[in-house]
Chain A
């Protein structure tokens, strides 16, 4: 029973394929021409693509990366050890807790002096 159904299914698929093939072959001229134009437009895009352009852009990116790494590695030493952390400075200044600390600045100066002297 199952074999018969499989056989009928296969026969049906063969007939459907033949009909579909025929309809594809009998496409009207307008559709055929538009398909040809679409194909040629796609191929033209490939033809205008140059592998060496990809190489050039790849080399340019690599060169830029090398220069960036070199510049980063050869930065002159900064005078202030915390110059690269401006946001920490901002946070120190803007924090409410640190405003209170600033009020007692005289005390901390005295404390620091006391430490170094005693």
Chain B
């Protein structure tokens, strides 16, 4: 954790930073950026992995890598860079999962049984508001989540980065590590598959 005393010490210790961003300003800017993006990043990783813990780990790794390697870059570059790191980590996670599932099939094990039978999963979250519009929103959100999860990973990434993060085609291509033409194709297919799947259930 960073104490405020340490931040002040950093600022005082580096007085020769005229014309450049001081370490304290840089830290504050990084904090603002990460605080602004962390929830959406978590939801993206959650939709891709289907698991909260895995999603949180991926977001944490992406944050660390951005801060360690790209903190000195221009602030405007952080968004595309962060998403590039996160999407790369999600793709790596997918590859690892594929290998593991192949091994599970080969060994004849089913590790999902325990989670499916967990009685805690059936207990409602008391912190959730119970107003009617919240129920509608929750239904809409659940339907959208399900539809997004059913998309191939590349379409899911293209949709979330273009539609939600509002990255342009070039930035999305950089984040996904593919061509701009591929982004357009994945995005187009994602929208039409989602619209078809959600159909009348969409509020």
Q: Which residues of A contact B (CB under 8 A)?
A: 8-9, 12-13, 15-17, 19-25, 27-29, 31-32, 34-36, 38-47, 49, 51
* Known A-B contacts A20-B43, A38-B38, A47-B6; A15 and B59 likewise in contact (beta carbons under 8 Å): no
Could you give 6 example pairs across A and B, Cβ below 8 Å?
Answer: A12-B191, A12-B202, A16-B164, A35-B56, A42-B66, A42-B67
Q: Which residues of B contact A (CB under 8 A)?
A: 1-2, 6-7, 10, 23, 26-27, 30-31, 34-35, 38-40, 42-43, 52, 56, 59-60, 63-64, 66-68, 71, 125, 127, 137, 140-141, 144-145, 159-160, 163-164, 191, 194-195, 202-203
Selected contact of B67 from candidates A21, A22, A24, A45, CB within 8 Å:
A45
Task: Tell me the minimal C-beta distance from B157 to chain A in angstroms.
Answer: 14
In the bound complex, residues from chain B placing their C-beta under 8 Å from that of A16 are: 144, 159, 163-164, 194
B10 near A27: Cβ-Cβ < 8 Å: no
CA distance A17 to B140 in the complex (A): 12
Since A19-B141, A20-B160, A22-B141 are in contact, a sample of 20 more A-B pairs with Cβ atoms closer than 8 Å, ordered by chain A residue number, is A12-B194, A13-B163, A16-B159, A20-B164, A23-B141, A24-B40, A28-B127, A31-B56, A32-B39, A35-B42, A35-B56, A36-B38, A38-B56, A39-B34, A42-B64, A42-B66, A42-B68, A43-B2, A46-B30, A47-B23
* Majority secondary structure, B binding face: helix
A47 near B10: Cβ-Cβ < 8 Å: yes
Selected contact of B191 from candidates A13, A38, A47, CB within 8 Å:
A13
Task: Tell me the minimal C-beta distance from B187 to chain A in angstroms.
Answer: 10
In the bound complex, residues from chain A placing their C-beta under 8 Å from that of B26 are: 46
- Number of inter-chain CB pairs below 8 Å: 104
Closest 7 CB pairs of A and B: A38-B60, A42-B63, A24-B39, A42-B67, A35-B38, A39-B34, A13-B163
A47 near B2: Cβ-Cβ < 8 Å: yes
Selected contact of B27 from candidates A13, A24, A43, CB within 8 Å:
A43
Among A15, A24, A28, the most chain B Cβ lie within 10 Å of the Cβ of A24
Selected contact of A31 from candidates B40, B52, B137, CB within 8 Å:
B52
